[in-house]
Amino acid sequence: MKTLVAQRAQVKVCDNHVEMATEASKEVIRITNGAISSRGKCAIALSGGTTPQLLYDKLGSKAFSGQVNWGAVHFFVSDERCVPLNDKDSNFGNAQREFLSKIGVPAENLHPVKNPDKAPAKAALAYEKEIKEFFQLTDGEFPKFDLILLGMGPDGHCASLFPNTKALEEKQRICVENLVEKLQVTRITFSIPTINHARNVMFMVQGPEKSKVLKEVLVGDTVLYPVQHIMPEAGNLQWLLDKKAASDFLKSGAGSR
Ligand code: 6PG
């Protein structure tokens, strides 16, 4: 694995998806245990998509799951599809099936978006209320998640912050419903300020189809993609990449050791 710095972020280039998932598992455990020892609990927002699957498998495995007191960890999602929890496309449902159901985390520590399939706008408001209560926020305050996991699509979206969608402009709300016209769906997503208030943001990106955009994101100085708005105000930002996703970035010679 190679570690570089670009755009004030730590960039780890792994040989393959397995190494990336192992490194990500170690980071999740490090951050989680650090939060528990500092504040007695940890709040993690999980990502959807396919890239984190191997991470969830590893965290749920005997090799890793015993390294954390999961009873002190609360799980949310950084975005959700408007489908029932038992739907194969549900981000929280998938994390529950692949990971959360295997680590004995108490039910009260699980924070899925409730009924996103029924009324997205209401579900987003209810999720926002649940987050405000968990973090005991006053009006206008944003939550400080200990870790927000994100993926990146080939179009440079993260969470459900897709190019040319309304949620990109959201500066007040913690999470909102977001119509994604190109997919003909509505999603629920964290807003940019919510992500930027996190203590740690970790992207996991794999595959050659993301390499061109990723190079622009890590090297370019023109904001072309939603992910370029992710710059934690005081938190730590890291990118875990596999070699295929990092190839254009590495060829650019950018990134300092
Ligand atoms: C989702 C995710 C989404 C995902 C990216 C990357 O709900 O699908 O939150 O933002 O992280 O689309 O997806 P892959 O990891 O499958 O490439």
Per residue in 67-116, pLDDT tens?
A: 999 999 999 999 999 999 999 999 999 999 999 999 999 999 999 999 99
49: which 2 tokens?
Answer: 């998509």
- Among 82, 158, 244, name the best residue to mutate to test ligand 1's pocket (greatest count of ligand atoms within 8 A of Cβ): 158
Q: What pLDDT, on the 0 to 100 scale, is given for residue 65?
A: 82
Which residue has the CA at smallest separation from atom 10 of ligand 1? Answer: 159
Tell me the per-residue pLDDT of 238-257, one tens digit each, with 9 for 90 and over: 999 999 999 999 999 887 77
Tell me which DSSP letter residue 34 carries. Answer: H
Q: What pLDDT, on the 0 to 100 scale, is given for residue 6?
A: 83
Q: What pLDDT, on the 0 to 100 scale, is given for residue 113?
A: 98
Q: What pLDDT, on the 0 to 100 scale, is given for residue 249?
A: 96
Tell me which DSSP letter residue 30 carries. Answer: H
Residues in the ligand 1 pocket, defined by CB under 6 Å:
47-51, 79, 91, 151-153, 157-160
For residue 100, the one-letter residue type is L
Give the C-alpha separation, 57 to 226, whole Å. 28
Element (H, E) at 247: helix 243-251
Q: What pLDDT, on the 0 to 100 scale, is given for residue 26?
A: 97
How is domain 12-249 classified at the architecture level of CATH? 3-Layer(aba) Sandwich (3.40)
Give the residue extent of every domain in the chain.
12-249
Q: What pLDDT, on the 0 to 100 scale, is given for residue 253?
A: 85
Could you tell me the distance, in angstroms and rounded to a whole number, from the CA of residue 138 to the centre of ligand 1?
31
For residue 91, give the nearest of 211, 175, 214 by alpha carbon.
Answer: 175
Could you tell me the distance, in angstroms and rounded to a whole number, from the CA of residue 85 to the centre of ligand 1?
17
Q: What pLDDT, on the 0 to 100 scale, is given for residue 7?
A: 78
Give the C-alpha separation, 24 to 44, whole Å. 13
What residues of the chain score a pLDDT lower than 70? none
Q: Residue length, the chain?
A: 257
Q: What pLDDT, on the 0 to 100 scale, is given for residue 43?
A: 98
Give the C-alpha separation, 219 to 65, whole Å. 36
Could you tell me the distance, in angstroms and rounded to a whole number, from the CA of residue 225 to the centre of ligand 1?
15
Q: What pLDDT, on the 0 to 100 scale, is given for residue 16?
A: 95
